Chain A
Amino acid sequence: MSLPILLLILFAFLLVGLLAWALRTPERPVKPAVDVFEALSRTRHCSRISHVMQALQPQDTEYLRETGQLELMQTLRRQRRRIALNYLDQLQSEFEELLEISRVLAVMSPQVTGMQEMNRWKLGLSFSTNCAVLRWKLRLRLQPFSSFTLLSKMATGIARQLEMATTRIAEAAVRGSEPFPPGNRNIGGP
């Protein structure tokens, strides 16, 4: 049997597998459209990153080492690792929620740009991969405590940017939810 035919057969089997996957019940329930705008205006976990990072300052553990409280230092490191993992979970959950919102918006929109959707999909894939890698690194205790200081500085800037983005979205949502003449079902329609 030639390779092209073999590829055809494998593709057919792959399609059957994908069919089974596509028919599975989604893990998260479908979000009603109204919830989308509510979810957009909600406070984000990542806005608290500076507090989380503050709690992970490496100087704290260095100080304990110098004073000979090695056991306490190890306990603190364990806790910090747990905090970092928890933070990562929140970050991922927030990212997934935003992706979910973007899908609901796309479903409601009369025009969807393929490139934008593709970019978002690629971003989602990249984020999930990075999250998994980072999670494993933390679990394998490869976590460098000192690096969180740099992250703290960076996070403050990002949180500010996110806040600005949230405000702009809220403004756009308010503009779009103004009342329409009877019979016009379009949200934000002319």
Chain B
Amino acid sequence: MVEPLQLQAAAWALTTTLELALFVQLVRRKLGRTYPLFFAYLLAVILQSIAVALLYRDANLDKMTVWKMAWGTQGMAVIMRSLALVELSRKVLSRYVGIWGLASRVLLCVAAVVLGYDLALSKGQWQWLILNGVRGLELAMAAVIVTILIFARYYRIPVSQLQRALAVGLCLYSSFYVINYSLLEKIVQEYAVLWNFLGIIAFIASLLVWIGAASRYAESEETVPLPAMSPELHGELSSELNTRLYLLNRQLIQLLRLKDRVQ
């Protein structure tokens, strides 16, 4: 039977291989220039894998130091992922100036509320503050991604296959991280190895989604935005539309009230 630690080591090796494969795909498709922050995030993750492998090999370091350094690299990876997410949201929404103005405020609010809620759970203890901070960032990122996609769906903003794949990969990993960490923290500390392994599996799934999208990427995927409109015209049309919507709604409410009255 395969030992859990051996399985974890194999998963780590597979993760690094897939990270390198994604790196090659991004370079081949020249996506490093289109998505520089995502590319930087991938580089950070590759460096993190190397750093963590070297740290665990060094027998002279004490466990606490290794733990702190490993979490330091994790913090760096999370920050880079946040930057990649900012880049993704700009790519999807910033061409639509009005929507971007509204969405950026909403996204900031969503991220701040989620992060604030998670940090409040630390109750001022610094060791939990860092760990919960990472979890809060992950959850905030997942919430932001979902909000971007909901915005895109509501306003029928085209999202390319690659952008979708990036969003799905980032969101799935972040959500799984939160579930994994929250359960690990409170219930299943004794199954830490298994949960770490499941975390790696979630990341492998994200990597596969990204590799698939990067290998299918074509420059024609980039969408052309609709022409812009003056604020005055939009204001006028928008208020007229709202009037019409209110009138229709009133018509319906009257129908409902009439029915109730007769009953």
Contact = CB atoms under 8 A, between A and B. Distances in A.
Interface of A: 1-2, 4-5, 8-9, 11-13, 15-16, 18-19, 22-24, 26, 30-31, 33, 46, 49, 91, 94-95, 98-114, 116-117, 119-121, 123-124, 126-127, 130-131, 133-134, 137, 142-144, 146-148, 150-151, 154-155, 158, 161-162, 165-166, 168-169, 172-173, 175-176, 185-190
B242 A119 contact: yes
Contacts of B250: 158
Contacts of B243: 165
B46 to A, nearest CB: 26
A98 B227 contact: no
B211 to A, nearest CB: 19
B164 A105 contact: no
Contact of A111 (B98, B242, B262): B98
B76 interface: no
Contacts, number: 244
Nearest to B121: A4
Interface of B: 96-99, 101-102, 105-106, 114, 117-118, 121, 135, 139, 142-143, 145-146, 149-150, 152-158, 164, 167-168, 171-172, 175-176, 178-179, 182-183, 185-187, 226-256, 258-259, 261-263
Given A98-B248, A169-B237, A117 B102 contact: yes
B149 A19 contact: yes
A8 B118 contact: yes
A134 B252 contact: yes
Contact of A18 (B150, B178, B242): B150
A151 B187 contact: no
A134 B256 contact: yes
Contact of A1 (B102, B187, B227): B187
Contact of A130 (B97, B146, B256): B256
A146 B262 CA distance: 8
